[in-house]
Structure 1
Amino acid sequence: MSHEASNVWRGVLLGAAAGLAASWAMEQYQAAASKAAEAAGQDLGGGDGDPATVQAADRAVRRVTGEGLADAQKSSAGEAVHYAFGAFLGAVYGALAEVAPAVRSGFGSIYGLVVALVADEGAVPRLRLGPGPSETPAKLQAYALSSHVAFGVSLEAARRVLSLVFGPGR
């Protein structure tokens, strides 16, 4: 395997692990932002339906078993989708960071914004997992964008720490 190819695979692995850490950090950010909004008398709730992650999990289970998730399973299934998607996004980021360092611009914040625009503003409404941008209040869009910036920054921070821990070529 060439040195460049091994660097890409290293980036994929470190990025996937960093994506898991960034997914956790994103959840912490969202919990803190929701708590702050609640203290200010604002509601950041995303509406009456299940989150996109829960809906995606329900669709997958329905395709495999023919039955949807039980209410008791929804939270865990949504978490699994959130972390799996975070690991996937981290793997992509890690690979790109090895071959196109510009992807790390803004300490990962640009990547986080791109993810928000492509996933939340594009794929989620197209897949009918949630409302489109024109149907979402501005404060919820700002919350979603800032959450994804937190994901991107956390992703780059975790990737850098893991790169130091595992060093080049280990």
Structure 2
Amino acid sequence: MSHPRPVLGLFAGIAAGLIASAAMAAFQSVAAKPLGQDGGDDDPATVKAADKVAIATTGDRIPDAYRPQAGQAVHYLTGAALGGLYGVLTEYRPQAASGFGSLYGIATSALLDETVVPATGLGSPPWETSAATHAYGALAHLVFGVSLEGARSLLGGRQG
């Protein structure tokens, strides 16, 4: 095994996380309607998270005109953070890239959609969420994971 390069892994992972977030957003925009995800009347979890930060720091909610952009900022910041973590992780444990990032993608779905989002009140508990929504989230995170590994392996110069 070659020597780990944590700094390169971190920065390649952050950049790859941004790329993977864009791929995930593109998938969601194309797949939402065919997979029965109309968005409903409720704000996405990313917008709710941005609102929580805004209220905690300024005392005010995100203005309606900026809510979509605030949600996108949370989406991309989360992707960059998950990518940075993945980049460092794969430097020390190349097997973390198993399935060309698909396992990491599914793990992010389980961690975020099924655990963190409901636990923080940003979404419904898993048992109150439709099977179609679970599948849509898992597929979107699968796209994230595979895109993350593809970009990371190109940017970092090493395949997991």
Give the TM bin, normalised by the shorter chain.
over 0.9
Q: CA deviation at 1:133?
A: 1.0
Gaps of 5+ in 2: none
Q: CA deviation at 1:47?
A: 3.1
Give the structure 1 partner of residue 21 of structure 2.
23
Aligned: 1:150 with 2:148: no
For residues 32-53 of structure 1, give each alpha carbon's deviation from its aligned partner in whole angstroms, at most 9, with x where no partner exists. 2124x0xxxx631243210010
- State percent identity of aligned pairs: 47
Q: CA deviation at 1:163?
A: 2.1
One-letter code aligned to 1:117: A
Distance in 2 (CA, whole Å) between partners of 1:34 and 1:152 is 18
Larger Rg: 1
Q: Which has the higher helix share?
A: 1
| 8 Å contact from structure 1 (residues 16, 88) kept in 2 | yes
Candidates 114, 131, 138, aligned match of 2:131: 138
For residues 5-61 of structure 1, give each alpha carbon's deviation from its aligned partner in whole angstroms, at most 9, with x where no partner exists. xx01110110000000000000111112124x0xxxx63124321001000001101
Output the aligned Cα RMSD.
Answer: 1.3
Q: TM-score, normalised by structure 2?
A: 0.93
Gaps of 5+ in 1: none
One-letter code aligned to 1:26: M
Give the structure 2 partner of residue 118 of structure 1.
111
Give the structure 2 partner of residue 161 of structure 1.
154
Q: CA deviation at 1:161?
A: 1.3
**Worse overlay, 100-109 or 44-53:** 44-53
| 8 Å contact from structure 2 (residues 24, 143) kept in 1 | yes
| 8 Å contact from structure 1 (residues 11, 95) kept in 2 | yes
Residue 30 of structure 1 aligns to a residue whose secondary structure is helix
Give the structure 2 partner of residue 56 of structure 1.
49
**Worse overlay, 46-55 or 23-32:** 46-55
Give the structure 1 partner of residue 65 of structure 2.
72
Residue 32 of structure 2 aligns to a residue whose secondary structure is helix
| 8 Å contact from structure 1 (residues 46, 140) kept in 2 | no
| 8 Å contact from structure 1 (residues 22, 86) kept in 2 | yes
Candidates 98, 105, 117, aligned match of 2:91: 98
Give the structure 1 partner of residue 8 of structure 2.
10
Q: TM-score, normalised by structure 1?
A: 0.88
| 8 Å contact from structure 2 (residues 24, 140) kept in 1 | yes
Distance in 2 (CA, whole Å) between partners of 1:47 and 1:105 is 35
Residue 49 of structure 1 aligns to a residue whose secondary structure is coil
